[in-house]
Structure formats: C-alpha cells, structure tokens
Amino acid sequence: MAFKIGLLGLGTVGTGTVEILLNPQQRHPLLQELAIHRVGVRSLDKPRSVELPAEMLTTDLESIVTDPDVDIVVEVMGGLEPARSLILKAIAHGKHVVTANKAAIARFSDEIFTAANQAGVYVLLEAAVAGGIPVIEPLKQSLCANRIQTLMGIVNGTTNYILTRMQTEGSSFDAVLTDAQQLGYAEADPTADVDGFDAADKVAILASLAFGGRIKLEEVHREGIRQITAADITYADRLGFVIKLLATAKRDANSGTEGTEQLQVRVHPTLVPKSHPLANVNGVYNAILVEGEPVGQVMFFGPGAGSGPTASAVVADILNIAAILKVDRNATHPDGSPLLDPLLACSHQHYSAIAPIEDLESRFYARVLTQDSPGVIGRLGTTFGNHDVSLESVVQIGLKDNQAEIVVITHCVREGNFRKALAEIQAFDAVANVPSVIRVL
Amino acid sequence: MAFKIGLLGLGTVGTGTVEILLNPQQRHPLLQELAIHRVGVRSLDKPRSVELPAEMLTTDLESIVTDPDVDIVVEVMGGLEPARSLILKAIAHGKHVVTANKAAIARFSDEIFTAANQAGVYVLLEAAVAGGIPVIEPLKQSLCANRIQTLMGIVNGTTNYILTRMQTEGSSFDAVLTDAQQLGYAEADPTADVDGFDAADKVAILASLAFGGRIKLEEVHREGIRQITAADITYADRLGFVIKLLATAKRDANSGTEGTEQLQVRVHPTLVPKSHPLANVNGVYNAILVEGEPVGQVMFFGPGAGSGPTASAVVADILNIAAILKVDRNATHPDGSPLLDPLLACSHQHYSAIAPIEDLESRFYARVLTQDSPGVIGRLGTTFGNHDVSLESVVQIGLKDNQAEIVVITHCVREGNFRKALAEIQAFDAVANVPSVIRVL
C-alpha cells in the first residue's frame, strides 16, 4: 500500500522534497511506500531540475487538496494565502498536512490545529523552524518528560551571516547587507530577516511547543539588527562577547506554578559571552538551546535553511505520518471522536500569557556619547542608581569628535527601570546621544 | 486508563525516573496517565531519596517482568545479566521495554530485537547513548529521510573531562585521572571509560541506527586515551588541534551503493581542528555530529550522563510508547502477525560489513624521538614516501635528553601503508621511540 502525496509548490523546498522521494535508496525503507501523486505549481511551462510526468503537474491547487486519492498534503509554497486556505481545505477533506510555512503556522495555528484535531489529522511542521535541524520533533517527543525553562536560539541564518561577517571583517551593517544581497544570502527586501519578523514567527512556534500554549504573534517582542554598528561589535568583543540575534522563550521568573504563569517571548540582538555554546554558531548556521528540568542544557545545531536541509525535515514529517498510518489509520476515542498520537498532535488550546517587556530582568549594554567633561560618569552612575539599576562596569572606551564614548554594562535589572534611567540620562545637556542599547545574556 | 510501569533498578537513573513520574506538573499531560506499578531493587532496606509505598518494592525482579498488569518494563539496573534475561522475559510476556543499558543492547541486540519484533513490542533506548541528548529518536525519526554518511561524536563524558583538563592545565593523564576518581568523574576501575569500551558500545548502537544494519561489537576498532601525553596535547595545540576521543561510524569511501557496502566503526583519540564543531565540546558534555544527504551536518549537544538527563530520556521513551499504545495497542499485518511503527521498531536483521582498520584512509600525527643527527628527517620522509605516505609537515619540535622530538603530520593515507612505514622507521638505529600515533580529522 502506497501513501499518496499531494505536493503544493515546486520551488526550492518542493524540488528538494521530490529529489528525496525519487531517490529512496539507502534511506529508510518506508520511503519506498510513498508515491508522489499530484504536484501543484504556478506555471506548467517553467523548466524544472526534477523530472516528473507532465500529467502529474497542475495549476489547480484546490483539486489536489480535495483529491480523494491523496493521503498527505505537503505545503511548501509559502506565503499566507492561498497557503492557509489550502491547508484548511486539505484538513477538511481528511488529509494529513506537512508544512514548511512558519509564517502561516505562527499566525493561524489556532484555526489550523483546531480543525486538525476535529478532523483527526496530523499537521507536522519540522521544516518551519531551523530547516534541517531536528528541533520540533525532539521538543514534542524526546524532551517531553521535561519541564522546559528556557529555549534560546539563533534561528535566522541571514542575520547570523551578516553579524558573523561584521564580526570577522569589522564592516558596517549596510556594507555586509549589500554584499549578502548580491551573494543571495539576503533578499532584495531584507525586512523579514533583518527586522526580526522571521525569527519572531519561529520563536512563537517553538514557545508554543516548549510551553504548551498558543502564542499571539503580536505579543512577541521584536527588535532587528539594523542598529548594530561595527563599534558595538568591537566593544562587545573587547568585553568578551559576540553579538547575536537571539530568539528567546522562557518561563518568567515571577510566574507561580499555578495559574499566574507568564512567558517571555522575544527576539532581539544580544551580547553573548564567548564561552556560551551559542557564541560559536556562525555564518548561516542555526542552533537552538533548550534548558529543561531535569535534562539540563541540550543544543541542536545545523543548517537552518536551504533546499536539501529543509526537504530533509519535510520528508521526515511525511514518513512519521506514514509510520503512524501503518499502525492505525482510524483510531477513535470511546465516543467515536478521532484519536491522535498525543505527542505528535497539538494538545493545547489556551493562549500563554506573555510578560510585558518592561518587566524583563536582564543585563544591559549601553553606549553613550557625552561631552568629555569631568563628572559625567558620576552623574550616569547616580541616575542609574536612583532607578535601582546597579552597574557592573562603566568604561570610557574612546574619544571621538571631541565626545567621550562611554560603555555601560549593568547587572541584571528590570528593563522598565533601566529605560526610565536612560530617558533621564538622554535629557542631560552633557549627553549627546545613546546610539546603542543591547541586552546582555 | 493508566499505563503501568515495572521499574527494574532504583539506583541513580531509576531514582531520577521516579522523581519525574511522581512530579508530572508542567510536563507533558500524558505523564499523568503513567503509574509506577512495581519497583525491583536489590535490597529493601536501603535508604532512598524518593518516597514509594513499601509494598511497591520487591527483590523478585522476575515477578515484575511476568506481572500481567505491567505494560512497560523499564530496565535501569545496568550490567549484562540478569538484565539481558529479564529484558527477554519481559518481551516474551508481551511487555514493551525501555532500557538505558548500552552494554546489553550493544551485545544482545540481535536476540532482543528479533524477540521484540516477534512479540510485537517496542524496545526503546534513548538513554543508552549520550544521556539526556536526543539522538536515538532523531536518528530514527527526524533524520530518516537522509542517506547518512558519517556519524561522529564525543560520547564518553569521563574521557572528555580528562582530556579537557589535560588541555587546560597541561597535566598528565595519570594525575588528572586520579583527581577525577576522587571527584567522582571517573570510576575506581576506569577501564570501561578510558580504554574506550563504553564509547565502543555506544558507537555500535548509533552505527546500527544510522546505517540500518547490526554491528558485531568485536569488529569495532577501539583505542583509549591512556597513551595521550601532555606533550601530545601541547604539540596538537600548537598545530591548531585539540585531542578528543571520537567515536566514528561512516560509510567507507570504497563502498559501492549495492551489496559491497562497508562501514568504518571505530573509537580512538583524534586530533580535531579547533574550528570543528566538536572541538569546543568540553568537560563532561557529549555531542554527536551527523552528516547526511541532503541535510548536511547537524549536531546534538548536551549532558551525556547523570541522573536527571538520563531519566529525561528514559521517561521520554516511556511516553513515546504510551502515545502509540493510545492510538493502537494491537495493530497486525494482514497475516495476523504484529505490526509495529516502522520508524520506532528495529527493521533490519542483517549485519553490516565492517572495513578492516588497515584500509582506513586518514591523516596521522606521529611523535618520533630520534638521535639529533643530520639526515634523520630525510630518511623519515623517504621511508614514508616508499610506502605511498605523503607528508603534510615534519617539524622538529624540541630537543629532550639529547634526543630530537619530531612531529610528523601526514596527508590522508591508507592506514596499512602508514603502519608499514612506521614499522621500518622504528627499526632505524637513529630512532629511539615512537611514543605517539594519533589519527587526525
């Protein structure tokens, strides 16, 4: 018995998926029981690097998700619509779904998983986060005995590539971005990557899995890397840090165990100590660090994007569904409602409460440009102190255009207090500018 | 409906397992459907850090594996016997098995998995390799679409701890070992760790999963770290390497795609370039790097031992079995024989062919002590050349007790040829000794 696949999209990931399915040798034998049934494309005439019978291709994507012969719909077309509608229609027609679409899942998980649970089908999405790195399934299955405390990762390859090159070359953000665009590592419109939208989608998905509650994407605090300067990278380096765009989800320290629990879910540039496992993750690589009780810290590292890695995750999801279908296609609860594997299906329906960013407790790095006059450092210190912001170090790093460049690192303080102190400091006559404020891990 | 667990062993891992099972809050809700039914111990009187009803404990372990009420037997007693017999008896009585016992699985996988497939039960073993790091299940499920080429890891925490301290402190093997024994990082009899037996068990299990064939443990090439000196670590450092005990399994480059396939499966100290992802894995941490087509390189990193991490893996396996049992307890093939999830069950029965170590192609590091006389380096080079061993560098590192200390690094050469050349060199009058030969990654 073969499992019939309806593929939506034959771009980079779709092509990689077809390449694996057409070459099952030396892979898991279950691959031989998968058959590509229909492939939905935008244009029938486009030259393709994979050979498929012409009659398999169609531009009528809806005919695929409603085709009674299709067992598993694989959505690798991307974008919000018509991807969302096609996924929902596939579910309504009893198809299991595999998707690589982080944007659609991060926004529409509520309606998609509610529909999937009612229809008794799986929606798997390993490929939606960190490409080929196994992280969704390990969170669902291998780490399911843990009380997850923190999940922290480098989940956007483009920004990590840019920051790595800024670090190694001393170049500016703009120069590296332009070059990355020419080399194909960054899009012509880089907003989704460099402003942190892509990472926010991914951390919303990961947080949902790690903490068992849905996440409202608009509640994810998001900052990108456009404001990071070569100077910040140099000073961070001198202080023993590298700058990474980290996506973080963690149980808020002020949460009780019952009822009042809050999560922090945020994406922002972060000074990471060089000895930290994430500090050595460079270039387009991704890594996700999970801290749980009792496992401690585990990290998953690998290629976060690309045709092959992403297709590896897509086909793994297809095989996982096929494996379950072999054991049982139609399990039901005693009342006749469909019964899904409780580790693979989405079992939560509530939304997690997200702590406001002002309540975050973090260390901070700030670079302050002031007049080179005595007493300025003293006034900075006093003002921070008035707001309960204790300082780890205040260093005058250099002198530039007659201005002193002062780098402040705080101890772990409440973000709201830090921001209030900073607002007062920015109003000082002696302070010209505070060009950089970056959280410190 | 609760799933009843029979636990064999209440030592470090058993206690960690009970701690998770008794505290299900904030973990996966499926944990609330697990119940500890019986616990087999060696002594009823021993004080325990977990509270269990006295009537739950028994010294009659066989009564647990034959108890009709038990669904899942969890073997965390370790050792070869009676663990093997109890696992087989549990299987014969239709119990699913979760085990952390690398030694038993590496030796008896043939009879254990044959019995399990006949009885239609799962034997899961995430905890047997690399403690809390998800690697078994990711290999079975998340990476199952790949053609695995190489699997390489630091899978023994004790030796990695010793090598890391030798590296940072410049100390000798013996000094660090003694200290590690006092601190509890090494056993009183350190043989299993420092001579590579533990790592050999683990790489046999990993190779079996990655390449889909059983492995004869006696065919795993095994070298430990006793002969690594502080001098080797210093010279390696100068040349840009750290020394790690690596466990490696890879498809032999000379293998064809059909029939003639051979694997390399080996454990030995290795010079690892400092830029390699495994070079930064220090102390008791473990990491496993998997290279597959099309995923590329992915790495799994975390704590390789300890009560909590290992129990995390044990309970994950229990939950994975419970999840499948919820969907279907009694799936069968059309002929009535039991049908198991093809990704979680063991689907191979043949033994993989292992390439002899002489056929390995590798770079080598050798430290040679010679008389400090002209022409010695020339004779070394000529002799290596006569055996097709081309050299990357020959450096006289120092002079010690009137002897020249020469470090040779070869290009990638056939091990058999290298050993033949070395045997000739050792017979030179001018050569006093070749204290170290280490493969280079």
> pLDDT tens digits for A288-308?
999 999 999 999 999 999 999
Q: What pLDDT was estimated at residue B35?
A: 97
The verdict on a CB contact (< 8 Å) between B308 and A297 is no
Residues of chain A with pLDDT > 70, as a percent, come to 98
Q: pLDDT, tens digit, for every residue of A332-353? A: 777 878 888 999 998 788 999 9
Statement: residue A258 has pLDDT above 60: no
A·B CB contacts under 8 A: 220
Mean pLDDT of B6-26: 96
pLDDT category of residue A255 using cuts at 50, 70 and 90: low
Nearest to B145 among A298, A316, A324 (CB): A316
The verdict on a CB contact (< 8 Å) between B295 and A312 is yes
**Full set of structural domains in chain B with CATH:** 3-132+307-327 (3.40.50.720), 145-301 (3.30.360.10), 357-440 (3.30.70.260)
- Closest-CA residue of chain A to B317: A142
- Closest-CA residue of chain B to A130: B298
Q: What pLDDT was estimated at residue B333?
A: 78
Pull the structure tokens for residue B273: 């370039």
Statement: residue A114 has pLDDT above 60: yes
Q: What pLDDT was estimated at residue A293?
A: 97
Statement: residue A30 has pLDDT above 90: yes
Q: What pLDDT was estimated at residue A28?
A: 95
pLDDT category of residue B101 using cuts at 50, 70 and 90: very high
Nearest to A295 among B30, B293, B309 (CB): B309
The verdict on a CB contact (< 8 Å) between A16 and B147 is no
Q: Which of chain A's residues have a Cβ under 8 Å away from the Cβ of B344?
A: 323
Mean pLDDT of B369-396: 92
Omega of the bond leading into A82 within 30 degrees of 0 (cis): yes
The verdict on a CB contact (< 8 Å) between B326 and A307 is no
- Closest-CA residue of chain B to A209: B28
Nearest to A142 among B134, B277, B294 (CB): B134
Q: What pLDDT was estimated at residue B401?
A: 79
Query: What are phi and psi for residue A119, nearest 5 degrees?
Result: -80, -10
Nearest to A316 among B126, B141, B342 (CB): B141
Task: Choose, out of A23, A146, A261, A337, the residue to mutate when testing the contact with B (most B CBs < 10 Å).
Answer: A146
Distance CA A170, CA A439 (A): 21
Q: Looking at CA atoms only, how far is residue A382 from chain B in angstroms?
A: 41
Q: What pLDDT was estimated at residue A329?
A: 67
Q: Which of chain A's residues have a Cβ under 8 Å away from the Cβ of B28?
A: 144-145, 212, 342-343
ipTM: 0.94
Active site members of A: 202
The whole-chain average pLDDT of chain B stands at 94
Q: Looking at CA atoms only, how far is residue B22 from chain A in angstroms?
A: 12
> Of B89, B95, B102, B202, which one is the catalytic site residue?
B202
Q: Nearest to residue B106, comparing CAs of B86, B88, B84?
A: B84
The verdict on a CB contact (< 8 Å) between A327 and B306 is no
The whole-chain average pLDDT of chain A stands at 94
The verdict on a CB contact (< 8 Å) between A137 and B142 is yes
Contacts of residue B281, defined as CB under 8 A and 6 or more positions apart, other chains included, come to B154, B160, B244, B287, B301
- Closest-CA residue of chain A to B313: A142
Distance CA B193, CA A275 (A): 27
Statement: residue B257 has pLDDT above 60: no
Q: Looking at CA atoms only, how far is residue B146 from chain A in angstroms?
A: 6
Between B104 and A403, residue with greater pLDDT: B104
Q: Which of chain B's residues have a Cβ under 8 Å away from the Cβ of A19?
A: 294
Lowest mean pLDDT among A61-75, B147-161, B362-376: B362-376
Q: What pLDDT was estimated at residue B258?
A: 53
Q: pLDDT, tens digit, for every residue of A347-397? A: 788 999 999 999 999 999 999 999 988 888 899 999 999 999 999 999 888
Q: What pLDDT was estimated at residue B329?
A: 67
Q: What pLDDT was estimated at residue A402?
A: 83
pLDDT category of residue B1 using cuts at 50, 70 and 90: low
pLDDT category of residue A182 using cuts at 50, 70 and 90: very high
pTM beyond 0.90: the answer is yes
- Closest-CA residue of chain B to A139: B134
Which helix (H) or strand (E) segment holds residue B22: the answer is helix B12-22
Lowest mean pLDDT among A136-140, A328-332, B138-142: A328-332
Nearest to A343 among B301, B320, B331 (CB): B320
Q: pLDDT, tens digit, for every residue of B268-306? A: 999 999 999 999 999 999 999 999 999 999 999 999 999
Mean pLDDT of B373-383: 90
pLDDT category of residue B96 using cuts at 50, 70 and 90: very high
pLDDT category of residue A1 using cuts at 50, 70 and 90: low
Statement: residue B99 has pLDDT above 90: yes
Q: What pLDDT was estimated at residue A373?
A: 81
Nearest to B142 among A138, A299, A339 (CB): A138
Q: What pLDDT was estimated at residue A259?
A: 55
Q: pLDDT, tens digit, for every residue of B37-48? A: 999 999 999 999
Residues of chain A with pLDDT > 90, as a percent, come to 87
Q: Which of chain A's residues have a Cβ under 8 Å away from the Cβ of B288?
A: none
The verdict on a CB contact (< 8 Å) between B303 and A309 is no
Task: Choose, out of B3, B141, B314, the residue to mutate when testing the contact with A (most A CBs < 10 Å).
Answer: B141
